[in-house]
Structure 1
Amino acid sequence: MNRRRVLAACGCVVGLAGCLGSDPPVAGERTAKDGDSTDGDSVARAGAFDLPIPEDELRRGAPKDAIPAITSPSFSTDWSGFDEVPVELEDSFEVVGVELDGISRAYPLAVLNWHEIVNDTFDGRPVVVTYCPLCGSAVVAERVVAGDTVYFGVSGLLWMSDLVMYDDRTNSLWSQVLATAIRGERTGDRLSLLPATISTWGEWKASHPETEVLVPPPVSGTIRGRQTRRYEVNPYTSYQQSSSIGIGYNEEVDERLHPKTSVVGITAGGVARAYPLDTVSSEGVVNDRVGDVPVVVAASADGSLVAYVRRVDGEAIEFERDGSRLVGGGSRWDLLTGRSLDGPHEGTTLSRANDRSPMFWFAWADFNPETEIYGR
């Protein structure tokens, strides 16, 4: 594997205001029941790493809670009507979309860039929504550890350039991408993952017309009480456009793709494969097989990458593209949700083939060093 040393430029470190903690100026009536699951071969298997992680592998990016996790989220249909929120929620804003227990919610990256963690509840079900701006990764999970509901906060530490969380019960440290405790009393414990999508607000609300959207603090409360940030500013713009990684501690990177290439990764049957956005977009739709699991990968016009298991009722379906829809098995399917809209499979929802969101290539490759790249 071709690797080289990569050090973040000083200007990039200064620009990572959110990371450093300072201010800059389940839908459908039924689900495809095919027995396919990639969870057992999940991206970033904890078993691939020796736990607990040595303390000297952790890097301090900010003081604990300097990036204040949201602990009392508030939701609305949009951001209008809130005097405390002078920012207009635009259709082009990226969001982490979650659909669970009949509830649809969107968490704008304009908020998550500054807070990284939202402790939420879906109809009594405790959920944590996380986003690491350095890795471009969203991970959503149940916030239940050993039977106890916990709150998660931002430790200010990084491991492999990824967000390290802590739980309020034991102060154990958790890798966001792994969704696993890497140091402390709960070391080795794993969170139960939930499906999530990164899309634009315009796409998400079109597919989920009844959706709610997270309203920024101070309307939503944080672990540090009343807080606010410049939500109209993306403090990671220069970082996202550069080849720099993290805040200067990554020494190696897999050169096969630009570090910030957006990829969706799938693991199954001992095989890990990354699907770059540009490749998927150019092909329109990708019918593939990872291990023994048949998958379909596609991207929306706005660049939202999705991956599904393309087996329904025991049969693998070949998909084609018809504008913004997928077509297969005599039915049309919503690309963003995987839900069949008509035909013999109407009401069926395809199972997710990926258990984490798309992320930057360097992060996927760091946690899956033996990964293949589709099309290469």
Structure 2
Amino acid sequence: MSVVHLATKPHVVHGWFERITSMNRRRFLAALGATSALAGCLGNNQSADGADSTDTPGTAGGSNATRTSSFDLPVPKDELRRGAPKDAIPAITAPVFSDDWSGFDEVNVTLEDSFEVVGVELDGIARAYPLAILNWHEIANDAFDDRPVVVTYCPLCGSAVVADRLVAGEPTNFGVSGYLWMSDLVMYDVRTESLWSQVLATAIRGERTGDTLSLIPSTISTWGEWKASHPDTEVLVPPPVSDTIRGRQSRSYDVNPYSSYRQSGRVGIGFNDEVDERMHPKTSVIGITAGGVARAYPLDAVKNAGVVNDTVGELPVVVASSTDGTLVAYVRRIDGSVAEFERDGSALVAAGSRWDLLTGRALDGSHEGATLTRANDRSPMFWFAWADFNPDTEIYGR
């Protein structure tokens, strides 16, 4: 039987997080790092198929990659589209973790190496959140030791966003509002009932309008690749073992309700007036923004290149993908100097060290143990979603 624990400590965390507010709540300048329902669309068991930086200890290079995008806030209510009733997609509120899914009588699905997961490594703890679960629940309220964290996934946009779940400096749970904005999941916080854009990680309506959650980097990978790079990882166990905002509910976790949607050219559930047609809307891209420049790196282009050494604005970056199609982006600055990366099988090579592709950690050489800084703080996402939130984006290779 696997060792299991609950990550549900409701501690108040002070000191390490400052709430970011806009001086003018009518206008929000959203500081985006880089990247990354039917979000808010599916109820019980429905299917979408018809419907100069400072180096820090242990870090190879710092990053000042930011982007400012303007959005008028609060978002007018008529721009929100109702996809499902509130909490019809029940967010996970009491997650249970183990080393796999075996040994649980309530779980009738085998966790396969090919399953995609949202991977998070924080404070020395590695956890995987399978999309087989997040497709049905979209939000997992968690805690890494005493640090409250929310893990979110929008199946419509293919975007994972992980953040500290603090509202006005206090921990709170997040739920699925059932609304969509720009075809993206709209969350609500239990404490104030404000509405939050998942991709922006920003409150767009309600008491906390203009507040922004502090982001935590995440990766979308396969379970096999993630556990190979993180041998001590834990993995989220599906409900009813994990509890939800509506109690111990369960779904058909062996069924992907978005399988046809991901392959089609359809965008959202019909609320997108304009779609950037430079690429297929469901092309997987990893986006980076810096110095007023936004650039998307399509999976196929990165795969064909093997490794991409590039500069976005004035930020030197390296972009690569794994055999399973995991896209990663790092700042290619090591000990204050810009490095040129090469590929050695599944590893990146630069400055006399081999670097793990998934973690950015130096495996050997003079930099062994150091970690590259992420160039993106949102996961890869579908092209249409990246372009919606970054309308002036460039495309690598074009």
TM-score, with structure 1 as normaliser: 0.92
CA offsets, 1:77-104, max 9 Å, x none? 0000001000000000000000001110
User: Deviation at 1:150?
Assistant: 1.0
Match of 1:21 among 43, 46, 49: 43
Choose from 197, 210, 218 the match for 2:240: 218
Task: Tell me the alpha carbon deviations over residues 103-129 of structure 1, each in whole angstroms, 9 at most, x when there is no partner.
Answer: 100000000000000000001100000
Counterpart Cα distance in 1 of 2:137 and 2:338: 41
8 Å contact kept, 1:17–1:24: no
Is the Cα–Cα contact under 8 Å of residues 162 and 218 in structure 2 kept in the other structure? yes
Match of 1:248 among 267, 270, 280: 270
User: Is this contact kept in 2: 1:331–1:345, CA < 8 A?
Assistant: yes
Unpaired segments of 5 or more residues in structure 2? 1-36, 48-55
One-letter identity of the residue aligned with 1:36: S
Q: Does 1:153 align with 2:175?
A: yes
SS in structure 2 of the partner of residue 344 of structure 1: helix
**Are 2:315 and 1:293 equivalent residues in the alignment?**
yes
Equivalent-residue separation in structure 1 for 2:203 and 2:146 (angstroms): 24
Instruction: Verify the 8 A CA contact 1:18 1:235 in the aligned structure 2.
Output: no
Alignment of 1:58 onto 2:80: yes
Q: Counterpart of 2:330 in 1: which secondary structure?
A: strand
CA contact (8 A) 2:154 2:184 kept: yes
* Structure 1, unaligned runs of 5 or more: 1-14
Structure 2 counterpart of 1:230 = 252
Counterpart amino acid of residue 171 in structure 1: E
Residue 312 of structure 1 corresponds to: 334
How much has 1:35 moved relative to structure 2?
A: 3.8
Say whether residues 1:32 and 2:54 are aligned partners.
Answer: no
1:167 and 2:189 aligned = yes
| 1:16 shift after superposition | 4.9
What corresponds to 1:282 in structure 2? 304
Partner of residue 126 from structure 1, selected from 131, 138, 148: 148
Q: Distance in 2 between matches of 1:33 and 1:318?
A: 13
The code of the aligned residue for 2:105 comes to D
Alpha-carbon distance in 1 for matches of 2:38, 2:371:
39
Deviation at 1:145, TM superposition (A): 1.6
Normalization by structure 2: what TM-score?
0.87
> 1-side partners of 2:204 and 2:273: how far apart?
21
Structure 1 residue 24, shift from structure 2 partner:
4.2
Query: Partners in 1 of 2:206 and 2:232 — Cα distance?
Result: 41
Q: C-alpha separation between the residues in 2 aligned to 1:16 and 1:154?
A: 12
Deviation at 1:251, TM superposition (A): 1.3
Bigger helix fraction: 1
Per-residue CA deviation, residues 51-74 of structure 1 (Å, 9 max, x unaligned), is 000100000000000000000000
Instruction: Give distance in 2, aligned partners of 1:19 and 1:135.
Output: 12
1:33 positional shift: 5.6
- Indicate which of 189, 193, 200 corresponds to 2:222: 200
Q: In the alignment, residue 135 of structure 2 is paired with which amino acid?
A: N
Partner of 1:374: 396
Task: Report if aligned partners of 2:40, 2:83 keep a CA contact under 8 Å in 1.
Answer: no
Q: Aligned partners of 1:115 and 1:252: how far apart in 2?
A: 28
Superposition deviation, residue 22 in structure 1: 2.9
